[in-house]
Structure 1
Amino acid sequence: MNTIFLMNSLWVMLAAILVILMQGGFILLEAGSTRMKNAGHIAGKTIFTFGIASLAFWAIGYGFIFGHGNAVIGLSDFFYSGYDIKGLEVSGAVYFLFQLAFAGISLTIALGGFAERGKLSVYIIFAVLFSILVYPVIAHWIWGKGWLSTLEQQDFAGSTVVHLTGAMAAFAGTIVLKPRIGKFNKDGSANQIHGHNQVFTALGVLILWIGWFGFNAGSTITVKDSFFGFIALNTNAAAAAGAISSLFISWLHSRKADIPTMLNGALAGLVAITASCAFVETWAAVIIGLVSGIIVVYSMKFFEKIKIDDPIFALSVHGTPGIWGTISTGFFAAPKLAATVGIGKAGLFYGGGFSQLAIQILGVAAAGVYAFAISYIILKIMKGILKGLRVSKREEMIGLDISTHGSYGYPEAFHKHKFEKSAQSQVFEEAAQ
């Protein structure tokens, strides 16, 4: 066993840990972005759905991506048993864990569209089916020697494979489940349902930002030539630019520096650079991030206008920036970097013509349509079998913490509220007598 094999394995193991730790970032982000009465539920479902995804990916999902098969799907290597992979200078078990972490992130994004109203059974069943029928198919097309891989679509770490796929599944979820109670008025106007803790949200974004260095830089799968450092540089530049541009656009519209919008801008920059981080120069990474920060603001406004209730903004943070980030390599891919990675051609702005741009657009369209269509069909079938996907109105009103799990995420706060209400009622009753 040579030194480079050991170093690669350690690097990819560290990257896998960082990506799995991103689940903690999502817990804080989603819990902080929703209401207190659902905080415990959101934290808990993130853990158990990652557990479901882990087993489904081990049994079938990994084989569908990387197994020997055809241009559409892999058909071998099910129930992965830890063997090393021919042609890779890295431990096979470590590589499996790294790929599993990506599948878990895509599922978490998808389930964000169900927030504050989905039944527990829906999370469980959809987690299994998404981890087998949705994510692995698209990952095979682009990363597993599928038809988009043959065309050399440039998606280095998953703007399309991970983020757009998850966002389109979330889109299907928001449509089938319909908006939360009180989100929209009869005249079509929207009410703001604020998250309960901006500190949680900000800390979640910071954890995700750090985890993204494992997400993008770890996708080199090697320490050779220290190329991972350049990818980390691009990743950070895009995130910073996204945060700044979204904050500026928010202030321009409302004369207020909206914190959730700025946080979403940082995430949008991270999502967009995920596809292009290995293909573009750093100045281009800044532009990609700046555009992402603008896109996310107007995307949030657009989806609210068409009455799509997206509680954690999965569509606006992971969907539209995922599209932009994937397409951006068709403009900005530098010849030297494309040659270094060995995928695709130079972008339009480097004289590469429209061919790579066309491939990027094709890949986005195919993956987006497939993820949405299959997720929508799955949910419609589940709706019929389960006699609905949503909890009852009463359960939604009192919150999923108590109605689904029998305990509050913030028991002291709710017990105090209950005590105060009881005391007030007693005073009113005594006054009435």
Structure 2
Amino acid sequence: METTVSTVDNVWMMICTGLVFFMHLGFAFLEIGLTRQKNTINILFKNIFIITIGLILYALVGFNLMYPGSFSLGGVLPDYFVDLFGLSAPTVEGALDLSYNAGYTYWTDFLFQGMFAATAATIVSGAVAERIKLPSFMLFTILYVGLVYPIVGSWKWGTGFLDGWGFYDFAGSTLVHSVGGWAALVAVALLGARIGKFGKDGKPKAIPGHNIPLATAGVLILWLGWFGFNGGSVLSADPGLTSLVLVTTCLAAAAGGLASFFMSTILYKNYDLTMFLNGILGGLVGITAGADKMGITDAILIGLIAGVIIVLGVALIDKLKLDDPVGAIAVHLICGIWGTLAVGIFGELASLNQFLVQLAGVGIIGAFCVVTAFLFLFTIKKTIGLRVSKEEEVEGLDIHEHGMDAYPDFTLDQMS
């Protein structure tokens, strides 16, 4: 019976791993769709780099740093410096030992967790699109994904001090999304706005994306991928809990999209598809911290509030003269904070004490991420530089950094 249960759980976890991997295609589509054609290859290149370097870093450093003392996929610090390149801790037979985990194997655990690791840098990629130097972004990704993400993750998922306090983050509203969102905020502030984003009067001007259908496809892919992101975080194929998580995830997404649509229509007197799309993502991020602890009404309310937050958050970012081409800060940072705090307001864990613990966790993680992201990015800015030249930005990063066009049959006039 144990073998059958383990097989079912393990297969479900592997399916979820594939769904989370598929989310990277959604992020790529969303980012290129909401930005200009002349930077398409640059954005795709960054996304491919994030996936590849993220997995290698997680194998060599991140897994052990996130779960210290429990694994030896590749050591980090002296206490864990066991087998940097070995991947040899469990044999194939040892990885199947149910004393490690009754639901899934060692290798499945590593790969599922590894898929989460790169997401933080993907969030930053969208926020800094169209004006960051590629080598600078790659260096920052290595530092942030290799060190900051697993350290923060260890505080909760690695049974660290936040876990001891009772801090709760089921699938990463803070541990994944806000970790990326804080870095995005710092990066956008240090980079400055794209040329033409703010006029002489300081008012923001829309810089339309070149392919909204592609951005829409990206959001739908991300929604599908969240079935693995949240559904896999059950860490088993338990039919009751898994189905509840998928239902709360979908309802929050739907409510977030509708709330954002209605709110933006009331404020701006038009039917803004991009707000609708980001509202869906805001609902997904918002429910991620407590998807397994919420009822139907809780999930809808969390999504509705997230949808409103998206519209107000995007307006706030513009008012602060920060330029975020894809709305990543509003979606991942602000809604990530909201979703984490919502655990103390709605659902099974709702209480003043839980809310205060959630608030403390958000503050501590936020401070750590802001300080480390600033140190990394400021150092990079003062050494090799963060931002491309004015000429490169105007003509497009595809030509200057990659020597090619995403759509070579189109003229330069059409690529602006």
> Normalized against structure 1, the TM-score is what?
0.89
How far does the alpha carbon of each residue in 1:228-285 deviate from its partner, in whole angstroms, 9 at most, with x for none? 1110000000000000010001111122110000000000000000001011111100
Deviation at 1:186, TM superposition (A): 2.7
Looking at structure 2, the residues matched to 384 and 282 of structure 1 have their Cα atoms a distance apart, in angstroms, of 50
Q: Which amino acid in structure 1 is aligned with residue 198 of structure 2?
A: F
Does 182-191 or 269-278 show the bigger shift?
Answer: 182-191
Of 277, 287, 295, the match for 2:309: 295
Q: Which amino acid aligns with 1:36?
A: Q
Q: Does 1:265 align with 2:273?
A: no
Match for residue 392 of structure 2?
A: 395
Q: Deviations over 1:6-59 (max 9, x none)?
A: 111111111011001000000110000100101121112101121111111111
Q: Between Structure 1 and Structure 2, which shows a larger proportion of helix residues?
A: 1
What are the residue-to-residue correspondences of 1:275-294 with 2, within 5 Å?
275-294=289-308
Give the equivalent residue in structure 1 for 2:363.
Answer: 365
For residue 187 of structure 1, report the CA deviation from its aligned partner. 2.5
CA distance in 1: counterparts of 2:305 and 2:238, whole angstroms: 32
Distance across 1 between alignment mates of 2:290 and 2:279: 17
- Tell me the matched-pair count: 398
Instruction: Name the residue aligned to 1:247.
Output: 261
Q: Which deviations, in whole Å up to 9, do the C-alpha atoms of 1:157-182 show, x marking residues without a partner?
A: 00000000000011111011111111
Would you say the 8 A contact 1:60–1:79 is kept in 2? Answer: no
How do 1:123-134 residues align onto structure 2 when only pairs under 5 Å count?
123-134=137-148
Task: Give the counterpart letter for 2:69 in structure 1.
Answer: H
Which segment drifts farther, 368-377 or 290-299?
368-377
Instruction: Output the CA distance in 2 between the equivalents of 1:81 and 1:121.
Output: 29
Q: For 1:209, which of 184, 202, 223 is the aligned residue?
A: 223
Letter in 2 for 1:406: G
Matches within 5 A, 1:174-193: 174-193=188-207
Query: Who wins on radius of gyration, i.e. which is larger?
Result: 1
Which of 391, 401, 405 pairs up with 1:404?
A: 401
Deviates more, 1:78-87 or 1:271-280: 78-87
Partner Cα distance (1:133, 1:368) in 2? 15
Task: Select which of 179, 186, 194 maps to 1:165.
Answer: 179
2:410 to 392, 404, 413: 413
Q: State the match for 1:347 in structure 2.
A: 350
Contact 2:61 2:146 in 1 (8 A): yes
- Aligned with 1:324 (options 313, 333, 338): 338
How far apart, CA to CA, are the structure 1 residues paired with 2:146 and 2:102?
24
Question: C-alpha distance in 1, partners of 2:112/2:368?
Answer: 24
1:122-160 alpha-carbon deviations (Å, 9 max, x no partner) = 121111101122111111111111110111211000000
Counterpart residue type for residue 286 of structure 2 = A
Identical counterparts, % of pairs: 38
- Aligned partners of 1:68, 1:411: CA distance in 2, in Å? 52
1:96 maps to what in 2? 110
- Residue 412 of structure 1 aligns to a residue whose secondary structure is coil
Separation in 2 of the partners of 1:320 and 1:203?
23
Query: Which residue identity lines up with residue 231 of structure 2 in the other structure?
Result: A
Q: Any idea what the Cα deviations from partners look like across 1:353-408, whole Å, max 9, x if unmatched?
A: x111101101111111111110111011111221x111111011111111110001
Moved more, 104-113 or 300-309: 104-113
Partner residue of 1:376? 374
CA distance in 2, matches of 1:371, 1:416: 41
Taking the aligned partners of 1:215 and 1:312, their CA distance within structure 2 comes to: 21
1:87 deviates by 3.8
| Partner Cα distance (1:46, 1:87) in 2 | 32
Is contact 1:52-1:124 (8 Å) kept? no
Cα distance in 1 for partners of 2:61, 2:186 equals 23
Contact map agreement 1:41 1:409 (CA 8 A) in 2? no
Residues 244, 80 of structure 1: alpha-carbon distance in 2 compared, 3 angstrom cutoff: farther
Matching residue within 100, 105, 113 for 2:127: 113
Counterpart of 2:153, as a letter, is A
SS class of match (2:343): helix
Distance in 1 (CA, whole Å) between partners of 2:414 and 2:55 is 39
Give the unaligned 5+ runs of structure 2. Answer: 71-75
Q: Is the 8 A contact 2:133 2:387 kept in 1?
A: yes
Q: Among residues 87, 106, 118, which one is paired with 1:81 in the alignment?
A: 87
- Amino acid of the structure 1 residue aligned with 2:303: G
2:5 is the alignment partner of 1:4: yes
